[in-house]
Amino acid sequence: MSDDPSMLDPSESPATGSEPAVDRDAIAGHRAALRDRHLRPPTERPTSSARGLHHTALISSDVERTIAFYQDLLEFPLTELIENRDYPGSTHFFFDIGNDNLLAFFDFPGLDVGPYAEVLGGLHHMAISVEPRRWDRLVDKLRDAGVEHVIHSEVSVYFRDPDGARIELIADPLGEMYGTKVV
């Protein structure tokens, strides 16, 4: 886990916490132009070509520790654990995160994968929706387990998994965020 609570807060990115010099007005103007050009109202949007998140593929440094965290603490059942053909001795394992979507991991035995880092193409954070009552229970479990966490807007809790990946559990339903429809 991080020793620095600010590292848990998604508004504190990049990880250094330093504020780069940016022209926020110019960026806001560009963002507005992007909305005009690309964002269509729901009634005019085509259906997605995708059916859902089949699986992720995050890197784990310790298969058993990752299973303990996601299955025992977060209550995402382990559904499969197989050989990863792409790397000798690598294990590919999967957790049920609802709606037939899977959170999956590889390990790379013998390979120094380095510490967690925020890089292009890397994971910033992953938000998983849970029922509000389950969310309350999981926050209690995180606290009891001594996992550092930060709560935002009364429905989001941020913390890190044993390898440093930043996870958010959100009590809002899929497609909603803080009272706003986002799908």
Do residues 56 and 97 lie in contact, with contact meaning Cβ atoms separated by under 8 Å?
A: no
Type of residue at 106: F
For residue 79, the minimal CB distance to Fe ion (Å) is: 24
CA dist., res. 183 & res. 181, Å (int) = 6
Query: Of the ranges 16-24, 55-63, 85-93, 167-175, which one interacts with Fe ion (CB under 5 A)?
Result: 167-175
For residue 86, the minimal CB distance to Fe ion (Å) is: 29
For residue 98, the minimal CB distance to Fe ion (Å) is: 17
Do residues 141 and 73 lie in contact, with contact meaning Cβ atoms separated by under 8 Å?
A: yes
Under the binding rule (CB under 5 A), the answer on residue 168 touching Fe ion is yes
Inter-CA distances, 124 with 38, 78, 89, 119, Å: 24, 23, 27, 8
CA dist., res. 51 & res. 33, Å (int) = 29
Q: In terms of DSSP H, where are the helices of 115-168? A: 132-144
Q: Which residue is nearest to Fe ion (CB)?
A: 127
Considering only residues 64 through 93, tell me which ones interact with Fe ion, judged by CB under 5 A: none
Do residues 178 and 170 lie in contact, with contact meaning Cβ atoms separated by under 8 Å?
A: no
CA dist., res. 11 & res. 26, Å (int) = 20
Query: Of the ranges 53-61, 74-82, 92-100, 126-134, which one interacts with Fe ion (CB under 5 A)?
Result: 126-134
CA dist., res. 87 & res. 92, Å (int) = 10
Under the binding rule (CB under 5 A), the answer on residue 127 touching Fe ion is yes
Between residues 27 and 178, which has the closer beta carbon with respect to Fe ion? 178
Under the binding rule (CB under 5 A), the answer on residue 15 touching Fe ion is no
Query: Of the ranges 11-19, 58-66, 121-129, 146-154, which one interacts with Fe ion (CB under 5 A)?
Result: 121-129
Number of residues that bind Fe ion (CB under 5 A): 2
Between residues 127 and 151, which has the closer beta carbon with respect to Fe ion? 127
Q: Which residues pair with 166 in a beta bridge?
A: 160
Query: Of the ranges 21-29, 46-54, 59-67, 122-130, which one interacts with Fe ion (CB under 5 A)?
Result: 122-130
Residues that bind Fe ion (CB under 5 A): 127, 168
